[in-house]
Structure 1
Amino acid sequence: MYKNRLQELAQRSCFNLPAYSCIREGPDHAPRFKATVNFNGEAFESPTFCSTLRQAEHAAAEVALNTFAERGPSRALAARVLDETGVYKNLLQETAHRAGLNLPVYTTIRSGPGHVPNYSCTVEIAGMHFTGDPARTKKQAQKNAAMAAWSALRKCEHFAAVIASFSYLH
Protein backbone atom coordinates (compact mmCIF):
# COMPACT_ATOMS: atom_id res chain seq x y z
CA MET A 1 0.00 0.00 0.00
CA TYR A 2 2.65 2.57 1.02
CA LYS A 3 4.92 1.46 -1.81
CA ASN A 4 2.13 2.25 -4.29
CA ARG A 5 1.55 5.67 -2.73
CA LEU A 6 5.26 6.49 -2.87
CA GLN A 7 5.38 5.49 -6.53
CA GLU A 8 2.35 7.70 -7.26
CA LEU A 9 4.06 10.60 -5.50
CA ALA A 10 7.17 10.05 -7.62
CA GLN A 11 5.16 10.02 -10.84
CA ARG A 12 3.12 13.11 -9.95
CA SER A 13 6.21 15.03 -8.84
CA CYS A 14 8.43 13.94 -11.73
CA PHE A 15 10.85 12.32 -9.25
CA ASN A 16 12.78 9.17 -10.08
CA LEU A 17 10.94 6.03 -9.06
CA PRO A 18 11.77 4.68 -5.60
CA ALA A 19 14.53 2.05 -5.43
CA TYR A 20 14.54 -0.48 -2.58
CA SER A 21 17.44 -2.36 -1.01
CA CYS A 22 17.24 -4.85 1.83
CA ILE A 23 19.23 -6.39 4.65
CA ARG A 24 18.36 -9.93 5.69
CA GLU A 25 19.44 -11.46 8.96
CA GLY A 26 18.57 -14.43 11.09
CA PRO A 27 18.27 -18.14 10.36
CA ASP A 28 16.53 -19.47 7.26
CA HIS A 29 13.52 -20.60 9.28
CA ALA A 30 13.04 -17.13 10.85
CA PRO A 31 14.55 -14.42 8.63
CA ARG A 32 14.20 -10.73 9.46
CA PHE A 33 14.33 -7.91 6.95
CA LYS A 34 15.13 -4.22 7.08
CA ALA A 35 14.60 -2.17 3.93
CA THR A 36 15.87 1.16 2.67
CA VAL A 37 14.16 3.12 -0.08
CA ASN A 38 16.10 5.66 -2.11
CA PHE A 39 13.72 8.38 -3.17
CA ASN A 40 14.34 11.85 -4.55
CA GLY A 41 18.02 11.68 -3.59
CA GLU A 42 17.38 10.58 0.00
CA ALA A 43 17.44 7.24 1.80
CA PHE A 44 14.63 6.21 4.15
CA GLU A 45 14.95 3.12 6.32
CA SER A 46 12.31 0.91 7.89
CA PRO A 47 12.36 1.66 11.61
CA THR A 48 12.49 -2.00 12.70
CA PHE A 49 13.24 -5.42 11.32
CA CYS A 50 10.18 -7.12 9.80
CA SER A 51 9.28 -10.74 9.24
CA THR A 52 8.86 -10.32 5.47
CA LEU A 53 10.61 -8.33 2.78
CA ARG A 54 7.27 -6.84 1.71
CA GLN A 55 6.58 -5.52 5.22
CA ALA A 56 10.05 -3.99 5.44
CA GLU A 57 9.66 -2.23 2.07
CA HIS A 58 6.22 -0.88 3.03
CA ALA A 59 7.65 0.38 6.34
CA ALA A 60 10.48 2.20 4.53
CA ALA A 61 8.00 3.70 2.05
CA GLU A 62 5.81 4.85 4.95
CA VAL A 63 8.81 6.63 6.53
CA ALA A 64 9.51 8.35 3.21
CA LEU A 65 5.88 9.42 2.75
CA ASN A 66 5.60 10.71 6.30
CA THR A 67 8.83 12.67 5.90
CA PHE A 68 7.64 14.27 2.68
CA ALA A 69 4.21 14.95 4.15
CA GLU A 70 5.85 16.97 6.95
CA ARG A 71 7.95 19.13 4.63
CA GLY A 72 7.28 22.39 2.84
CA PRO A 73 5.83 22.41 -0.69
CA SER A 74 5.71 18.65 -1.14
CA ARG A 75 3.61 18.29 2.03
CA ALA A 76 0.39 19.06 0.21
CA LEU A 77 1.29 16.74 -2.65
CA ALA A 78 2.14 13.78 -0.43
CA ALA A 79 -1.00 14.29 1.64
CA ARG A 80 -3.08 14.60 -1.54
CA VAL A 81 -1.72 11.32 -2.94
CA LEU A 82 -2.66 9.52 0.27
CA ASP A 83 -5.98 11.32 0.49
CA GLU A 84 -7.11 10.86 -3.12
CA THR A 85 -6.96 7.13 -2.78
CA GLY A 86 -9.14 7.12 0.34
CA VAL A 87 -6.44 5.36 2.32
CA TYR A 88 -7.47 7.01 5.60
CA LYS A 89 -11.07 5.79 5.32
CA ASN A 90 -9.77 2.29 4.58
CA LEU A 91 -7.32 2.37 7.49
CA LEU A 92 -10.00 3.64 9.84
CA GLN A 93 -12.41 0.90 8.78
CA GLU A 94 -9.76 -1.79 9.18
CA THR A 95 -8.80 -0.44 12.60
CA ALA A 96 -12.43 -0.66 13.74
CA HIS A 97 -12.73 -4.18 12.35
CA ARG A 98 -9.54 -5.42 14.02
CA ALA A 99 -10.44 -3.79 17.33
CA GLY A 100 -13.87 -5.46 17.26
CA LEU A 101 -15.69 -2.13 17.04
CA ASN A 102 -18.63 -0.99 14.98
CA LEU A 103 -17.61 0.49 11.65
CA PRO A 104 -17.01 4.25 11.53
CA VAL A 105 -20.14 6.37 11.10
CA TYR A 106 -19.84 9.54 9.02
CA THR A 107 -22.17 12.51 9.56
CA THR A 108 -21.90 15.14 6.85
CA ILE A 109 -23.54 18.57 6.90
CA ARG A 110 -23.99 20.71 3.80
CA SER A 111 -24.02 24.49 4.06
CA GLY A 112 -23.64 27.47 1.78
CA PRO A 113 -25.53 28.40 -1.38
CA GLY A 114 -26.52 25.66 -3.80
CA HIS A 115 -23.99 26.63 -6.45
CA VAL A 116 -21.10 26.81 -3.92
CA PRO A 117 -21.77 24.11 -1.32
CA ASN A 118 -19.52 23.57 1.66
CA TYR A 119 -19.44 20.27 3.54
CA SER A 120 -18.25 19.46 7.02
CA CYS A 121 -18.04 15.93 8.33
CA THR A 122 -17.64 14.19 11.65
CA VAL A 123 -16.75 10.53 11.99
CA GLU A 124 -17.60 8.49 15.07
CA ILE A 125 -15.52 5.49 16.07
CA ALA A 126 -15.34 3.82 19.48
CA GLY A 127 -17.60 6.49 20.96
CA MET A 128 -15.19 9.25 19.92
CA HIS A 129 -15.99 11.96 17.38
CA PHE A 130 -13.47 13.50 14.98
CA THR A 131 -14.15 16.45 12.69
CA GLY A 132 -12.19 17.05 9.53
CA ASP A 133 -11.50 20.23 7.60
CA PRO A 134 -14.43 21.56 5.53
CA ALA A 135 -14.47 20.67 1.84
CA ARG A 136 -16.29 21.44 -1.42
CA THR A 137 -17.54 17.86 -1.80
CA LYS A 138 -19.15 15.37 0.57
CA LYS A 139 -16.59 12.73 -0.37
CA GLN A 140 -13.65 15.02 0.42
CA ALA A 141 -15.23 16.08 3.73
CA GLN A 142 -15.50 12.41 4.72
CA LYS A 143 -11.88 11.80 3.77
CA ASN A 144 -10.83 14.82 5.84
CA ALA A 145 -12.72 13.48 8.86
CA ALA A 146 -11.12 10.05 8.42
CA MET A 147 -7.69 11.67 8.20
CA ALA A 148 -8.33 13.59 11.44
CA ALA A 149 -9.53 10.42 13.18
CA TRP A 150 -6.62 8.32 11.92
CA SER A 151 -4.08 10.93 13.05
CA ALA A 152 -5.62 11.04 16.54
CA LEU A 153 -6.02 7.26 16.87
CA ARG A 154 -2.39 6.64 15.95
CA LYS A 155 -1.46 8.55 19.11
CA CYS A 156 -3.97 6.68 21.29
CA GLU A 157 -2.35 3.87 23.28
CA HIS A 158 -5.34 1.50 22.89
CA PHE A 159 -5.37 1.78 19.11
CA ALA A 160 -1.58 1.80 18.70
CA ALA A 161 -1.51 -1.95 19.39
CA VAL A 162 -4.26 -2.59 16.82
CA ILE A 163 -2.55 -0.39 14.23
CA ALA A 164 0.79 -2.09 14.91
CA SER A 165 -0.79 -5.44 13.97
CA PHE A 166 -1.36 -4.34 10.36
CA SER A 167 1.04 -6.39 8.28
CA TYR A 168 1.57 -3.63 5.72
CA LEU A 169 2.49 -1.09 8.41
CA HIS A 170 5.37 -3.17 9.80
Structure 2
Amino acid sequence: MYKNQLQELAQRSCFSLPSYVCTREGPDHAPRFKATVTFNGETFHGPTCCTTLRQAEHAAAEVALARLSTRGPSTYLTARVLDETGVYKNLLQETAHRAGLKLPVYTTVRSGPGHSPVFASSVELAGLSFAGDAARTKKQAEKNAAMTAWSALKQSKQLTTALPIRNTTGSW
Protein backbone atom coordinates (compact mmCIF):
# COMPACT_ATOMS: atom_id res chain seq x y z
CA MET A 1 0.00 0.00 0.00
CA TYR A 2 2.74 2.51 0.96
CA LYS A 3 4.78 1.93 -2.19
CA ASN A 4 1.67 2.58 -4.29
CA GLN A 5 0.88 5.79 -2.41
CA LEU A 6 4.44 7.06 -2.76
CA GLN A 7 4.41 6.29 -6.48
CA GLU A 8 1.06 8.06 -6.88
CA LEU A 9 2.47 11.05 -5.02
CA ALA A 10 5.41 11.16 -7.44
CA GLN A 11 3.15 10.97 -10.47
CA ARG A 12 0.73 13.65 -9.24
CA SER A 13 3.51 16.06 -8.34
CA CYS A 14 5.61 15.39 -11.46
CA PHE A 15 8.56 14.08 -9.42
CA SER A 16 10.77 11.20 -10.49
CA LEU A 17 9.48 7.83 -9.40
CA PRO A 18 10.78 6.52 -6.07
CA SER A 19 13.97 4.51 -6.25
CA TYR A 20 14.57 1.65 -3.81
CA VAL A 21 17.91 0.18 -2.70
CA CYS A 22 17.88 -2.95 -0.58
CA THR A 23 20.57 -4.71 1.37
CA ARG A 24 20.49 -8.36 2.34
CA GLU A 25 22.04 -9.83 5.43
CA GLY A 26 21.92 -13.10 7.28
CA PRO A 27 22.29 -16.70 6.11
CA ASP A 28 20.68 -18.03 2.93
CA HIS A 29 18.05 -19.95 4.86
CA ALA A 30 16.98 -16.85 6.86
CA PRO A 31 17.77 -13.67 4.93
CA ARG A 32 16.87 -10.24 6.29
CA PHE A 33 16.32 -7.17 4.13
CA LYS A 34 16.60 -3.47 4.82
CA ALA A 35 15.56 -0.83 2.28
CA THR A 36 16.01 2.84 1.58
CA VAL A 37 13.94 4.87 -0.82
CA THR A 38 15.01 8.01 -2.62
CA PHE A 39 12.14 10.35 -3.39
CA ASN A 40 12.41 13.86 -4.79
CA GLY A 41 16.07 14.08 -3.80
CA GLU A 42 15.55 12.88 -0.22
CA THR A 43 16.53 9.47 1.13
CA PHE A 44 14.38 7.66 3.68
CA HIS A 45 15.57 4.56 5.54
CA GLY A 46 13.38 1.65 6.53
CA PRO A 47 13.35 1.36 10.34
CA THR A 48 14.13 -2.35 10.68
CA CYS A 49 15.17 -5.46 8.83
CA CYS A 50 12.33 -7.43 7.29
CA THR A 51 11.93 -11.04 6.22
CA THR A 52 11.06 -10.15 2.62
CA LEU A 53 12.29 -7.62 0.12
CA ARG A 54 8.72 -6.40 -0.42
CA GLN A 55 8.19 -5.77 3.31
CA ALA A 56 11.45 -3.83 3.50
CA GLU A 57 10.48 -1.59 0.57
CA HIS A 58 7.02 -0.96 2.05
CA ALA A 59 8.62 -0.07 5.40
CA ALA A 60 10.89 2.49 3.71
CA ALA A 61 7.96 3.95 1.76
CA GLU A 62 5.93 4.17 4.98
CA VAL A 63 8.72 6.17 6.65
CA ALA A 64 8.88 8.49 3.62
CA LEU A 65 5.12 9.10 3.65
CA ALA A 66 5.05 9.64 7.41
CA ARG A 67 7.87 12.17 7.25
CA LEU A 68 6.38 13.98 4.25
CA SER A 69 2.96 14.10 5.95
CA THR A 70 4.40 16.15 8.83
CA ARG A 71 5.07 19.05 6.48
CA GLY A 72 2.10 21.40 6.41
CA PRO A 73 0.14 21.48 3.16
CA SER A 74 0.37 25.24 2.84
CA THR A 75 4.16 25.00 2.82
CA TYR A 76 5.07 21.99 0.71
CA LEU A 77 3.68 20.71 -2.58
CA THR A 78 4.25 17.11 -1.51
CA ALA A 79 2.07 17.55 1.58
CA ARG A 80 -0.73 19.02 -0.57
CA VAL A 81 -0.51 16.03 -2.88
CA LEU A 82 -0.46 13.68 0.12
CA ASP A 83 -3.76 15.26 1.13
CA GLU A 84 -5.17 14.59 -2.34
CA THR A 85 -4.18 10.93 -2.23
CA GLY A 86 -5.95 10.35 1.08
CA VAL A 87 -2.84 9.46 3.07
CA TYR A 88 -4.10 11.28 6.18
CA LYS A 89 -7.25 9.14 6.29
CA ASN A 90 -5.09 6.03 6.01
CA LEU A 91 -2.71 7.21 8.74
CA LEU A 92 -5.61 7.90 11.12
CA GLN A 93 -7.14 4.52 10.44
CA GLU A 94 -3.82 2.69 10.90
CA THR A 95 -3.11 4.57 14.13
CA ALA A 96 -6.54 3.70 15.55
CA HIS A 97 -6.16 0.07 14.55
CA ARG A 98 -2.69 -0.27 16.12
CA ALA A 99 -3.84 1.48 19.30
CA GLY A 100 -6.83 -0.86 19.62
CA LEU A 101 -9.28 2.00 19.20
CA LYS A 102 -12.48 2.19 17.20
CA LEU A 103 -11.88 3.34 13.63
CA PRO A 104 -12.32 7.05 12.85
CA VAL A 105 -15.94 8.09 12.22
CA TYR A 106 -16.62 10.86 9.70
CA THR A 107 -19.70 13.09 9.87
CA THR A 108 -20.36 15.23 6.81
CA VAL A 109 -23.01 17.93 6.35
CA ARG A 110 -24.05 19.30 2.97
CA SER A 111 -25.20 22.90 2.59
CA GLY A 112 -25.62 25.47 -0.14
CA PRO A 113 -27.67 25.34 -3.33
CA GLY A 114 -28.00 22.08 -5.26
CA HIS A 115 -25.86 23.31 -8.16
CA SER A 116 -23.04 24.47 -5.86
CA PRO A 117 -22.96 22.37 -2.69
CA VAL A 118 -20.53 22.88 0.16
CA PHE A 119 -19.54 20.01 2.42
CA ALA A 120 -18.25 20.31 5.98
CA SER A 121 -16.83 17.22 7.64
CA SER A 122 -15.55 16.27 11.06
CA VAL A 123 -13.85 13.11 12.25
CA GLU A 124 -14.09 11.53 15.67
CA LEU A 125 -11.23 9.44 17.03
CA ALA A 126 -10.76 8.26 20.62
CA GLY A 127 -13.49 10.60 21.87
CA LEU A 128 -11.91 13.62 20.19
CA SER A 129 -13.54 15.49 17.33
CA PHE A 130 -11.72 17.40 14.58
CA ALA A 131 -13.37 19.62 11.96
CA GLY A 132 -11.77 20.21 8.60
CA ASP A 133 -12.11 23.02 6.08
CA ALA A 134 -15.24 23.02 3.93
CA ALA A 135 -14.94 21.63 0.41
CA ARG A 136 -16.88 21.23 -2.84
CA THR A 137 -17.04 17.42 -2.47
CA LYS A 138 -17.80 15.10 0.42
CA LYS A 139 -14.60 13.17 -0.27
CA GLN A 140 -12.41 16.27 -0.05
CA ALA A 141 -14.21 17.46 3.10
CA GLU A 142 -13.41 14.13 4.78
CA LYS A 143 -9.78 14.39 3.66
CA ASN A 144 -9.63 17.91 5.11
CA ALA A 145 -10.98 16.64 8.44
CA ALA A 146 -8.45 13.81 8.48
CA MET A 147 -5.61 16.21 7.72
CA THR A 148 -6.74 18.51 10.56
CA ALA A 149 -6.95 15.58 12.97
CA TRP A 150 -3.56 14.17 11.97
CA SER A 151 -1.87 17.57 12.27
CA ALA A 152 -3.44 18.22 15.68
CA LEU A 153 -2.47 14.79 16.98
CA LYS A 154 1.10 15.17 15.75
CA GLN A 155 1.48 18.64 17.34
CA SER A 156 -0.16 17.96 20.70
CA LYS A 157 2.14 16.35 23.22
CA GLN A 158 -0.86 15.44 25.39
CA LEU A 159 -2.57 13.60 22.58
CA THR A 160 0.54 11.80 21.39
CA THR A 161 0.89 10.23 24.82
CA ALA A 162 -2.70 9.01 24.62
CA LEU A 163 -2.38 7.72 21.05
CA PRO A 164 0.68 5.94 19.66
CA ILE A 165 1.40 8.25 16.72
CA ARG A 166 4.24 7.17 14.50
CA ASN A 167 7.22 9.49 14.62
CA THR A 168 9.36 10.42 11.62
CA THR A 169 11.71 7.48 12.15
CA GLY A 170 8.84 5.04 11.70
CA SER A 171 8.69 3.84 15.31
CA TRP A 172 5.80 4.35 17.73
TM-score in same-fold range (> 0.5): yes
CA distance in 2, matches of 1:88, 1:33: 28
Counterpart amino acid of residue 12 in structure 1: R
CA distance in 2, matches of 1:98, 1:9: 25
- Dislocated runs of 4+, deviation >6 Å: 71-74
1:129 and 2:129 aligned: yes
Name the CA shift for 1:102/1:18 in 2 (closer, same or farther; >3 Å).
closer
TM-score, structure 1 as length reference: 0.70
Identity %, equivalent residues: 66
CA distance in 1, matches of 2:18, 2:80: 18
Per-residue deviation, 1:127: 0.6
2:23 match: 23
CA distance in 2, matches of 1:136, 1:119: 6
CA distance in 2, matches of 1:119, 1:142: 9
> 1:153-168 to 2 correspondence within 5 Å?
153-154=153-154, 156-160=160-164
1:4-57 residue CA offsets vs partner (Å, 9 max, x unmatched): 1221233234433222112234556765443222334x2413152232433432
Per-residue deviation, 1:136: 1.1
Q: Given that residues 69 and 75 in structure 1 are in contact (C-alpha distance below 8 angstroms), is that contact kept between their aligned partners in structure 2?
A: no
> 1:109-120 to 2 correspondence within 5 Å?
109-120=109-120
SS in 1 for 2:140: helix
2:2 match: 2
Q: Given that residues 92 and 146 in structure 1 are in contact (C-alpha distance below 8 angstroms), is that contact kept between their aligned partners in structure 2?
A: yes
1:48 and 2:47 aligned: yes
Structure 1 residue runs of 5 or longer lacking an equivalent are: none
CA distance in 1, matches of 2:61, 2:48: 14
1:108 match: 108
1:122-151 residue CA offsets vs partner (Å, 9 max, x unmatched): 111111111112211122111111222233
Q: Given that residues 68 and 75 in structure 1 are in contact (C-alpha distance below 8 angstroms), is that contact kept between their aligned partners in structure 2?
A: no
TM-score, structure 2 as length reference: 0.70
Q: How many residues align?
A: 163
Q: Which one has the bigger helix percentage?
A: 1
Name the CA shift for 1:129/1:14 in 2 (closer, same or farther; >3 Å).
closer
SS in 1 for 2:50: coil
Q: Given that residues 35 and 46 in structure 1 are in contact (C-alpha distance below 8 angstroms), is that contact kept between their aligned partners in structure 2?
A: yes
CA distance in 2, matches of 1:150, 1:15: 25
Structure 2 residue runs of 5 or longer lacking an equivalent are: none
CA distance in 2, matches of 1:72, 1:131: 16
Name the CA shift for 1:92/1:69 in 2 (closer, same or farther; >3 Å).
closer
